[in-house]
Amino acid sequence: MDNRDELLRAIKDEVLALKSSPLYAERVKNGVFPVIGEGSHQAKIMFVGEAPGKNEAATGRPFAGAAGKILDELLVSVGINRPEVYITNIVKDRPPGNRDPLPEEIAAYGPFLDRQIDIIQPKIIATLGRFSMEYIIRKFGLEQELKPISALHGASITAQASYGPVLVVPLYHPAASIYNQHLKETLLADFKILKQYL
């Protein structure tokens, strides 16, 4: 077994047992699952969303609902197979009512994402939504690059990870395009950036 598999399984076990999490009681009460991540443990591209929604918590899979269908379409549009990438969120448990994650929730789960990045060692981290964008940009000490997502989407920012250079590509969250067709076109255009790095 690949060492990456073992290290990622350890993260899963720790998140399952994370009673100190502000969202643990909510998970138990609703009888749902944490969403750790899914995809290739050797992925060149890692997608990082914000937090699981209802469908994700019910299945334990990231991007399993309407936003996931859009993400699948976007991947197909640039010839990327979903199993070849790794998809996760900062927050691994669903916030009640799909509200935005709170700072203490991001603080509780962020270290697991940091470890996932170090284990998988992607060449590209594509952030989905503003919470993910801000977390990743701050993680790599690039606060001076921070702008609203409307200004940064589709850009590529070179960061230095523990294992070498990584490209951060901020993208709108696919859910944002459910009600806004214009954003879908923007996402389709922005996804083309990922293709040129494969």
Q: What is the 3-state secondary structure (H, E, C) of the chain?
A: CCHHHHHHHHHHHHHHCCCCCCCHHHHHHHCCCCCCCEECCCCCEEEEECCCCHHHHHHCCCCCCHHHHHHHHHHHHCCCCHHHCEEEECCCCCCHHHCCCCHHHHHHHHHHHHHHHHHHCCCEEEEECHHHHHHHHHHCCCHHHCCCHHHHCCCCEEEEECCEEEEEEEECCHHHHCCCHHHHHHHHHHHHHHHCCC
pLDDT at residue number 181: 85
In a 13 Å sphere around the CA of 44, the CA atoms on its Cβ side amount to: 7
**Secondary structure of 158-179 in the HEC alphabet?**
EEEECCEEEEEEEECCHHHHCC
Chain centroid to Cα 54, Å, comes to: 16
Q: Which CATH number belongs to the domain containing residue 10 in this structure?
A: 3.40.470.10
- Calculate ∠ Cα 92-98-103, nearest 5°: 60
Q: State which residues form the domain around 75.
A: 3-195
* Sequence letter at residue 173: H
Is the model's pTM score more than 0.75?
yes
Name the domain count of the chain.
Answer: 1
38 backbone dihedrals φ, ψ, rounded to 5°: -155, 145
pLDDT at residue number 116: 98
pLDDT at residue number 1: 52
Per-residue pLDDT of the chain (198 residues; tens, 9 = 90+): 579 999 999 999 999 999 999 999 999 999 999 999 999 999 999 999 999 999 999 999 999 999 999 999 999 999 999 999 999 999 999 999 889 999 999 999 999 999 999 999 999 999 999 999 999 999 999 999 999 999 999 999 999 999 999 999 999 999 999 988 899 999 999 999 998 877
